[in-house]
């Protein structure tokens, strides 16, 4: 099979990103872009981000997860603490998250270190989840081999009966991580492939060094 995709072309012309216009703190620029994505572009799940970890087999692993909260400290997502991604983080806390908003011709790449959040914060988010999602956290032994879908559906049915009329507690092996950033790259598509790339690197004094990168 040989599928030639060389004729896939697009000219990026929607916006610009100039160093003179960016704030000193990259979280503020992230917040601005995220607001614009929500308000002005028809993007489903704009909080979807690719999380990259170094797998136990030595290969990088990428998967899409959902950003659930961000602060000046970092970016929070939730998962099973016994999943492949969690095992990778336990071994190597250096991760990368990235957002690609094609309608806005923008992407953000963030390097940082991942660590578990406080249990009470995981409890609070778990309580806010739909009941079906709460049960799903119990059903799935994430990343483990399963014989067929019926096994999952049967387990869900059993749990629905077990917790009928009862509050569903957060499983001890499910909770949140925060990615504390050390580097951001903001990418804005531009014509002629001369894209704007602005990089922030965290310095020892906790200030951010801002540079423009060649496309």
Centroid of chain to Cα 18: 25
Q: Which of 63, 193, 197, 199 is catalytic?
A: 193
Which residues fall within 8 angstroms of residue 11, CB to CB, at 6 or more apart?
A: 191, 192
The three-class DSSP label of residue 154 is helix
CB-facing half-sphere around the CA of 158: CA atoms within 13 A: 8
Q: Which residues of 113-140 are buried (b: 16+ CB within 10 A; e: fewer)?
A: ebeebeeebbeebbeebeeeebbebbbb
193 in active site: yes
Active site residues: 193
């Amino acid at each position: 099979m040989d599928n030639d995709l060389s004729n896939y072309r697009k000219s990026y012309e929607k916006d610009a990103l100039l160093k003179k216009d960016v704030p000193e703190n990259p979280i503020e620029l992230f917040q601005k872009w995220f607001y614009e994505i929500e308000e002005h572009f028809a993007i489903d799940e704009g909080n979807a981000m690719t999380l990259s970890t170094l797998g136990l087999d030595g290969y990088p692993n990428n998967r899409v997860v959902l950003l659930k909260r961000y602060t000046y400290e970092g970016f929070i997502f939730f998962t099973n603490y016994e999943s492949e991604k969690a095992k990778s983080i336990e071994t190597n806390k250096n991760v990368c998250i990235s957002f690609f908003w094609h309608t806005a011709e923008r992407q953000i790449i963030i390097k940082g270190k991942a660590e578990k959040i406080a249990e009470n914060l995981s409890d609070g988010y778990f309580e806010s989840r739909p009941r079906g999602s709460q049960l799903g956290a119990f059903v799935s032994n994430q990343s483990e081999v399963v014989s067929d879908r019926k096994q999952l559906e049967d387990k869900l049915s059993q749990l629905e009966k077990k917790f009928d009329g009862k509050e569903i507690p957060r499983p001890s092996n499910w909770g949140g991580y925060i990615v504390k950033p050390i580097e951001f790259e903001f990418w804005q598509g531009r014509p002629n492939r001369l894209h704007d790339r602005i990089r922030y690197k965290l310095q020892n004094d906790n200030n951010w060094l801002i540079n423009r990168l060649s496309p």
